[in-house]
Amino acid sequence: MTLTETRSPDADPDDASVAQPPESWWRRWFGPLTPTRLVLLLVVVAFFGGAVGYAFRDAESQAKSAVDVGFLRDMTAHHQQAVQISKIALYGEFPDDARAYVDEIITQQQYEIGLMQATLYRLNEPSEDGDDTVMGWMGMAMPTDEMPGLASSEELARLEDLDGDEAASLFFSLMSRHHLGGVHMAEATARDAKDPWIRDLASRMAAAQTAEINEYRVARQRLDLPLLEGYQREPSLTLPDVASSSDDGLPGWVPVAALAILVSVALVVIRILRRGPTGDDDIDGDELRGSLQGGPP
């Protein structure tokens, strides 16, 4: 016997005496992956993958747009009180050297109110939502009059009663704290908002109001204004505990579960495509020809 054997060209490839490589479990279960099956499989996977991706994208979009809209509404209300404080300060005798700071607030913040209202219109959102609470988009919902940095009705009445250096001192104290609250809101929006234009607007607001807080500190020293009782030279805020938000993203198991479902659907589709019209597995070609000829293959 020679070390090598040659097979007769007439040998039957289905002869059991001829060694055949073992059939893989994949081929036994799913059959050959024909071009038609491959195309259908890709279509199914693309459809389900797109549906899952769109669902995740839509949830993220809604979460982020709440920040955009909430900021525009709440900062509008915040700006409106800044304008109110400035106009009250001008009702009485206000030092001429401090009037420029008051005029700047009235001009700049009314302009920004117009920008924010125009942006709400562009987003097809009403300027108010009819809710008596604010800051929910930051996870710290509260009544409007408790918004960080706002002056109380008592403080506004006191400002209206004061004149001269005392009025200027209270104005700088109220607006420093007011701006600090605005910076708190603007920095959160610059980080979390979806709309790039809104993120940029919030970033510019945070920078401008931080600079103005420093300007008020310098002006108080330059004008040698007294510090009224109950106020600090450096503004501070009392913030509530931030509630945990459900908008921080999807739980880690959700994408894994979605991928498992997607793979399962793909495997089921392959299995269905392998079965014949009667529900049996694909019929061998020789068996099909034999059945058509009326005899065994």
CATH of the domain at 190: 1.20.1260.10
Q: Which of 129-143, 194-208, 222-236, 255-269 has the highest mean pLDDT?
A: 194-208
Angle between helices 96-122 and 35-91 (to 10 degrees): 150
- Label residue 236 by pLDDT band (50, 70, 90): confident
β-strands 133-134, 142-143 pairing: antiparallel
How many residues are there in the chain? 297
* pTM confidence score: 0.63
- Label residue 246 by pLDDT band (50, 70, 90): very low
Between 290 and 128, whose confidence is greater?
128
Q: What is the mean pLDDT of residues 224-253?
A: 68
Label residue 133 left, alpha or beta by phi (over 0 means left) and psi (-120 to 50 means alpha): beta
Amino acid 242: pLDDT: 52
CA-to-CA separations, 148 to 108, 141, 160, 174, 263, in angstroms, rounded: 20, 11, 22, 12, 50
Q: Residue 249: inside a domain, yes or no?
A: no
Cα dihedral sign for 42, 45, 48, 54? negative
Q: Residue 46: inside a domain, yes or no?
A: no
Q: What is the mean pLDDT of residues 250-276?
A: 63
What is the number of structural domains in the chain? 1
Amino acid 119: pLDDT: 95
Amino acid 84: pLDDT: 98
Q: What is the mean pLDDT of residues 191-195?
A: 95
- Label residue 249 by pLDDT band (50, 70, 90): very low
Which stretches within the chain are classed as H helix? Answer: 25-30, 35-91, 96-122, 153-161, 164-192, 196-222, 253-274, 285-293
Q: Residue 210: inside a domain, yes or no?
A: yes
Look up tokens 């002006």; give the residue.
Answer: 219
Amino acid 54: pLDDT: 54
Between 97 and 58, whose confidence is greater?
97
Q: Residue 170: inside a domain, yes or no?
A: yes
> Is a pLDDT exceeding 80 seen at residue 292?
no
Per the prediction, the chain carries an average pLDDT of 79
Q: Residue 265: inside a domain, yes or no?
A: no
Q: Residue 40: inside a domain, yes or no?
A: no
Amino acid 288: pLDDT: 40
Amino acid 104: pLDDT: 96
CB atoms within 10 A of CB 150: 21
- Label residue 17 by pLDDT band (50, 70, 90): low
**Segments forming the whole domain that contains residue 118:** 66-222
Q: Residue 156: inside a domain, yes or no?
A: yes
Distance CA 275, CA 280 (A): 5
Q: Residue 39: inside a domain, yes or no?
A: no
